[in-house]
């Protein structure tokens, strides 16, 4: 579908049907969870918010660094994609371990002032 021109009238319908088939297969087949539940996917899930937050910034930084060099289009893109994915994951993982995880631990603390507020109502 990506090879068709953007103005092709049935493209969005076919894409929607394709994603519907994928989603329905994931929902209806419990065996797929065994494949998707592994250590690598769990670590990526932990870092997913950081990936979302930092990816654009990392791409901009890598591009500004690569612009100092005279590189062919293919080499530039190869370095851009490789470095962006690698550094985004490293920063997102670091952010999860040292920033997000401490806040997630605070969520499970039994705060006594919450009980007082709830009983006064």
pLDDT tens for residues 78-110? 999 999 999 999 999 999 999 888 888 887 776
Whether the CB-CB separation of 91 and 50 falls below 8 Å is answered with: yes
> According to the model, what pLDDT value does residue 52 have?
92
The confidence band for 113, taking pLDDT boundaries of 50, 70 and 90, is: low
The confidence band for 121, taking pLDDT boundaries of 50, 70 and 90, is: low
Quick count: other Cβ atoms within 10 Å of Cβ 100? 16
- pTM of the predicted model, to two decimals? 0.62
Quick count: other Cβ atoms within 10 Å of Cβ 15? 12
- Which of 22 and 33 is assigned the larger pLDDT? 22
> According to the model, what pLDDT value does residue 117 have?
55
Whether the CB-CB separation of 37 and 75 falls below 8 Å is answered with: no
């Amino acid at each position: 579908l990506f090879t068709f021109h953007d103005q092709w009238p049935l493209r969005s319908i076919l894409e929607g049907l394709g994603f519907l088939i994928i989603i329905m297969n994931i929902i209806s087949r419990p065996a797929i969870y065994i494949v998707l539940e592994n250590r690598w996917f769990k670590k990526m899930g932990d870092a997913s918010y950081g990936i979302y937050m930092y990816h654009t910034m990392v791409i901009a930084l890598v591009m500004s660094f690569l612009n100092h060099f005279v590189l062919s289009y293919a080499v530039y893109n190869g370095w851009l994609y490789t470095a962006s994915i690698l550094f985004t994951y490293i920063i997102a993982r670091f952010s999860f371990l040292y920033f997000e995880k401490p806040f997630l631990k605070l969520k499970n603390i039994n705060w006594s002032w919450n009980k007082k507020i709830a009983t006064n109502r």
